[in-house]
């Protein structure tokens, strides 16, 4: 059994070997599929703010990267201590 095959079975009642497809839930492939899905549903409405209002899905900005934590305090040890991130 090579790396291109995977065992498939439902609830342990059957077994078969099938060709494994490429993973698309992480990395650049996932980002591309996510952008494609967002583009297809940009005219759909989603509810925000505890369901009290709604906005178009296409109006949500795309984030570029994770925000930096510099200059913030971070709690540690069950919330009893804190340290400063330089």
Residue 16 tokens, joined: 């078969």
For 1-40, what is each residue's pLDDT tens digit?
A: 446 777 777 776 777 777 877 777 888 888 888 889 999 9
SS (H, E, C) the chain: CCCCEEEECCCCCCCEEEECCCCCCCHHHHHHHHHHHHHHCCCCEEEECCCCEEEEHHHCCCCCCCCCCCCCEEEECCCCEEEECC
Q: What is the pTM of this model?
A: 0.47
Sketch the domain layout of the chain as residue ranges: 1-57
pLDDT digits (tens, 9 = 90+) for 65-84: 888 889 999 999 988 999 99
Residues in Cβ contact with 81 at an 8 Å cutoff, skipping those fewer than 6 apart: 75
With contact defined as beta carbons under 8 Å apart, do 45 and 54 qualify?
yes
Can you give the pLDDT at residue 1? 46
């Amino acid at each position: 059994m090579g790396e291109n095959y995977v065992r498939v079975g439902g609830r342990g009642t059957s077994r078969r070997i099938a060709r494994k497809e490429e993973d698309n839930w992480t990395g650049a492939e996932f980002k591309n599929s996510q952008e494609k899905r967002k583009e297809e549903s940009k005219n759909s409405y989603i509810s925000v703010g505890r369901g009290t209002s709604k906005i178009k899905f296409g109006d949500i900005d795309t984030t570029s990267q994770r925000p930096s934590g510099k200059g913030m305090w971070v709690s540690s040890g069950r919330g009893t201590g804190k340290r400063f991130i330089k």
